[in-house]
Chain A
Amino acid sequence: MSIFIDKLFRYASRFVAMSILLLVAWIFTVLLQNSMESITALGFDFVTETKWAPNLEKFGALPAIYGSVLSTFIAMVLAVPLAIGVAIFLSELAPAKLKSPVGVSIELLAAIPSVIYGMWGLFYFVPIIRDHVGGIGISMLTAGIVLSIMILPFMAAVTRDAMNTTPDILKESAYALGGTKWDVIKDIIIPYAKAGIIGSFILALGRAIGETMAVTFVMGNVHNISLDITAPATSIPVTLANEFNEADSGLYYSSLFELSLLLLIISFTIISIAKFYFLRRKRIA
């Protein structure tokens, strides 16, 4: 009897674990199947066409792709230096009394749902952009800024963790040679933790590009490629969030599924680069 239960437990647990792989494969297959209509009808034009006009059955994903890339780029440009600053502050500068409470509150802020960052952006940040930068406030720039604030806690926390892996003895040796704090940071900590820091930035990038709610509020869903970052724009997740429930034709649906597939492939690739190239997990022997 107990041998039977033992076997059952082993096979059941293996089955559930393997079903994760099946699930991922299933997700890709379903998205691909549902995209087939648009892939066969539009082909490669889907990603190069700039016009998205569902009423004319014209589906070009370039504005959405452009919006995803540009808003994520703005977010990274703003968040990376801030995250490094916060991480340096937390790991090297802050007095012991501040380190833990500030560190914990940053980690807790990383847990706040992105929809709340989006809501804050809509009510408090959109007016600021409108009054001081220009445009109507709903824009690519606003989306980039809100996105940067949303990824900041995550980025700062992982960067700090990466910096904290530097052995104290290395830092102490450098200080003993007369190094200033900055010398130690740039010559010891950053070279030591480089892979971890870059990896966490790329991971944050992967999360930012697929983020929906933080940007849906403030981007406007306008399919237009504009160099003016104060103009409303769209991105892949914003298009999905706004239009999925409105799609009325087979091709429209299919194009939205193709967008999802595209987004999944992009973020899978980015996250894999971060994981396999920079953040090889330390195996617990």
Chain B
Amino acid sequence: MTHTQKRIIVNNIVMMLSTLSAIIGIGFLFWILGVLILNGVDALSWNIFSQEGAPPGYEESGLKHALIGQLMIVGVATFFGVPLGILAGTYLSEYGQQSKLAETIRDISDIMMSAPSIVIGAFVYAVVVAPMGHFSGWAGSIALTIIMLPIILRTTDDMLQLVPSTLREAAFALGAPKYKVIMQVVYRGAKAGILTGILLGVARVAGETAPLLFTSFNDNFLNTNMNEPMASLTVTMFNYATSPYEDWQKLGWAAAFILSMFILGLNILGRLFLLKKRGK
């Protein structure tokens, strides 16, 4: 066998292995997606949206409590996390720039983005839940805010840096003070990017379970008081899926389906915003 033939054979083997691993990898992922959709659609019914949690065996049980709890916890986290994150990102891109302080903040936020979220839960337990003496929706929101902050901060920073500096200079030349340049020129130029960052940040925290386990805890009934333990889709899903009752497990799949569709929807929406911007 000549050297060339050998190389071609080796090449074909490696290409086959790589295609095979792609098929295995992608197969697994579509298996999960398929399972999620089949079980989810099967479990969906009007009751899911109109009924609260019930003891196992009851026909009339749903996820209304978890859906509302989830929206409130994530909503409050978004309410605080987004403006704070944007403001901090603005500092990095517009004031701090390449200074040592700004670079350190960037590095620390990058690390925070991948840090284990359950540890944030333990931290919030120590500083909020323990002093208050009880679990609460607020504590869950605070944990999610902490997780969301670095994500929004870094995307805002990146997106603002993409705005050409000539635009800023033009506005400065007209005599605009810096805050006006930022608000009216830089933010406008980076609108689509910031929006994408927000959507991805919300999508990321909406799927967090670990930091909610010992902050907002759970509640099997509808509760809209943020000062009390609150149900969330993720924790409810965890409790129902690990229970031995078939109807609860079914509700768990419904929760998983609704949550995934919400998160995938946000991700797709975020991508579309960016694509539309690039298309211009």
Contacts and interface: CB of A to CB of B under 8 A. Distances in A.
Contacts of B110: 271, 275, 281
B208 A113 contact: yes
Interface string A245-276: 10000000000110010011001100110011
A183 B7 contact: yes
B40 to A, nearest CB: 10
Contacts of A24: 108, 112
Chain B contact surface mostly: helix
Interface string B175-215: 00111101000000000000000000001101111100110
Contacts of B118: 210, 212, 237, 240-241, 260, 263
Interface in A25-48: 26-27, 30-31, 33-34
B263 A112 contact: yes
A81 B21 contact: yes
Contact of A12 (B18, B87, B112): B87
Contact of B106 (A14, A206, A276, A281): A281
A267 B116 contact: yes
Interface string B245-280: 000010011001001100110011001000000000
B264 A21 contact: no
A86 B26 contact: yes
Given A13-B91, A153-B29, A257-B122, A181 B11 contact: yes
A108 B269 CA distance: 12
A272 B150 contact: no
Contact of B19 (A2, A93, A105, A241): A93
A56 interface: no
A118 B209 CA distance: 11
Interface stretch (A59-67, A119-127, A168-176): A119-127
Contact of B104 (A21, A31, A213, A267): A21
A183 B8 CA distance: 10
Interface in A93-122: 93-94, 102, 104-106, 108-109, 111-120, 122
B117 interface: yes
Contacts of A260: 118-119, 122-123
A20 B109 contact: yes
B108 A17 contact: no
Chain A contact surface mostly: helix
Nearest to B234: A115
Given A16-B84, A257-B126, A85 B242 contact: no
Interface string A178-197: 00111101000000000000
Interface string B148-181: 0110010000000100000000000000011110
Contacts of A13: 87-88, 90-91, 94-95
24 contacts: A5-B177, A5-B179, A6-B177, A9-B182, A13-B95, A17-B89, A21-B105, A26-B123, A31-B122, A85-B22, A111-B203, A111-B264, A112-B207, A113-B208, A119-B253, A122-B241, A123-B241, A153-B29, A182-B7, A217-B238, A244-B122, A260-B122, A263-B116, A264-B119
Interface of A: 2-3, 5-6, 9-10, 12-14, 16-21, 23-24, 26-27, 30-31, 33-34, 81-86, 88-90, 93-94, 102, 104-106, 108-109, 111-120, 122-124, 149, 152-153, 156, 180-183, 185, 203, 206-207, 209-213, 216-217, 237, 240-241, 244-245, 256-257, 260, 263-264, 267-268, 271-272, 275-276, 281, 283-284
Given A23-B146, A119-B238, A245-B214, 8 more contacts: A17-B153, A18-B105, A31-B119, A153-B29, A182-B7, A245-B213, A260-B122, A271-B115
